[in-house]
Chains A and B, each alone.
Chain A
Amino acid sequence: MSEGTIKSMKNLPQEHILGEGTSLCAGCGGLGALHQIYDLLGEKTVIVNAAGCMTSLAIYPYTPFRGSWLYTAMASAASGAQGIRDALDVLIAQGRLPTEDDLTVIALAGDGSSYGMGLSATSAAIERNLDFLYICYDNEGYGNTGQQFSAATPWGARTTTSRGGHHGKKKDLFAIWAAHHPVYAATVIGAEPLDLARKVEKAIRLRGPRLILAMAPCPTGWGYDPQETVEIGRLAVRCGIWPLKEYEEGRLTHTRIPQPRIPVEEYLQKQSRFRHLFKPERNAEAIAHIQAEVDRYWSNVA
């Protein structure tokens, strides 16, 4: 395992290169993670962006990026990344593109695409050992269209299509990726910049299919004041509902084991998508169920 250069907060990038003026919501947790990631990736990148909130980053003729960006249909980020990678490889092989001008191919997609519509194309790209970095910003619903439930919506969360609380279970995308034996997969969150930077730095150095799965607290869709985005993210980590971990060379490592874990309801009650579990009366059974699921996850962590 190669040693990274980011050892402490002081090593975090001082210059923030993702352009200002994007039309994402104030306090966006997805943008909060993306701008930290982009500071490390730099401009020698092609971002292949599946339809979602992040497609409103670049609205012609405006872009916050300093490198290239390509927009694809919702299910097609990984396919688009394959096409770009192949084109770059062909140009380099033909001598039409100097090797030093090669670009890193990034797929950027939300949970609606990554956990659902785009999963089949992504699975195939990993299987083909495509050299790309896949960034998923997971705000646990179709945020761009007003927060309908997605395959990443947690059980019990209210969305515009699950008013009484979502009945489905959040898919484990990290485990799905790990089951493909990619070169690297990691979960991150913008509220933990050092953990995020170390993982992104590691992912950049590797070749092959790599996943950075960022939980993206969403003030608009989850229902909380935008200034609480970082606080909500920290609570998600401290209560254990969002485990920070990485998969590398066949091994799973938890990079943060919260001890002690705070009760999950401290995280839930800050968000109006879970308000029905507390008001008008407390739904002790549902809260206990969510807590039990989190406890069960950590009981399996050695």
Chain B
Amino acid sequence: MFRIRFHGRGGQGMKTAANLLSRAFFLEGYEIQDAPRYGSERRGAPIFAYVRADREPILERGAITRPDLILVADDSLIHNPSAGVLQNVNSRTVLLIHSEVPGEVWKDRLQFPGTIIGLPLSAVARSGAQIPVVSASCTGAAAGLVGVIRRETLEPALREELTRLGESVIAQNLETALSAYDAMQPYAGCVKEGGALSAEDYAPPDWIEIPYEDSTISAPVIYRTATSEQIQTGLWRTRRPLIDYSHCNRCSWVCSTFCPDSAIHVDPDRTPHIDYEHCKGCMICLAVCPPHAIYMEKEQPAPIEGGAR
């Protein structure tokens, strides 16, 4: 059975990528299972989707714990712990990262036990594409890497899944998927099917067990206030707003009032500070600042310490 995980952010189309790939497997005669996994719907937050494909009926359920192939929509997700990209990887796992950084560098950085392939999105997507095509690139690359999906199967698979979106969307996605498929030909078939899992292989999910409340309360109670501040939504950010204090006129209210996330604090001397642990990078502050004292930079992947978990 092939066990494949797609990691991306809400809005990048990982659910669609999984749909497209499983359709292609289906057209090649496979039994398939595909499902997205996300919390409440939102853009920018890490999500994943997964596909199982087998010649036999699939009885396995739940999120994939022994991935044969992992596809990553952008490299900022790698070191985002809540994305869980590197969860349960092993020496058989093939990891494809959409990144300008070569795969060998990633393998070294992450001390990754399996194979890593770097694929720059710029290499497969036409510049100026009007729609996010990283999903199609994930699908095309996955189809190329598993080695059991023919190139000509991609077109009917995309067509069947994307019909309602119209011809130009299908054409852009197909072009990207085929480029990614072709780019993977040197590695075609490097992803091997994993064997059946036995009960001994079961790994409990990585969550905290919380005891039941007293039955008179019969509902979970949070005793502390504003606990949401423990969640680092700053990891969603792909762009970073920066304040040029030489231009900030200390108006004391515009950026901090309009920031929907309360992520801009103002000192008593009226100097604003952006809390990068929580700023989601919406850039409203940049848009509303009267003296245009806020500018933006692309978020760079932070250096990585230690290896794969």
Contact = CB atoms under 8 A, between A and B. Distances in A.
A63 interface: yes
A55 B264 CA distance: 23
A26 B262 CA distance: 12
A58 to B, nearest CB: 8
Contacts of B237: 26
B257 interface: yes
B171 interface: no
Contact of A26 (B229, B231, B282): B282
Contacts of A53: 40
B225 A28 contact: no
A229 B288 CA distance: 10
A32 B260 contact: yes
A14 B255 CA distance: 11
B41 interface: yes
Contact of B39 (A12, A58, A59): A59
Q: In terms of DSSP, what is the predominant structure of the interface of chain A?
A: loop
Interface centre among B251, B265, B281, B287 (most CB of A within 10 A): B287
B266 interface: yes
B252 A20 contact: no
Question: Chain B contact residues (Cβ within 8 angstroms of A): what range?
Answer: 35 or more
B261 A22 contact: yes
A10 interface: yes
A59 B262 CA distance: 18
A99 interface: no
B278 interface: yes
A229 B284 contact: yes
Interface in A198-256: 219-220, 225-231
A16 interface: yes
A41 B42 CA distance: 26
Nearest to B285: A227
12 contacts: A14-B256, A21-B231, A23-B233, A27-B260, A58-B222, A58-B228, A61-B227, A62-B231, A65-B225, A145-B41, A226-B284, A229-B260
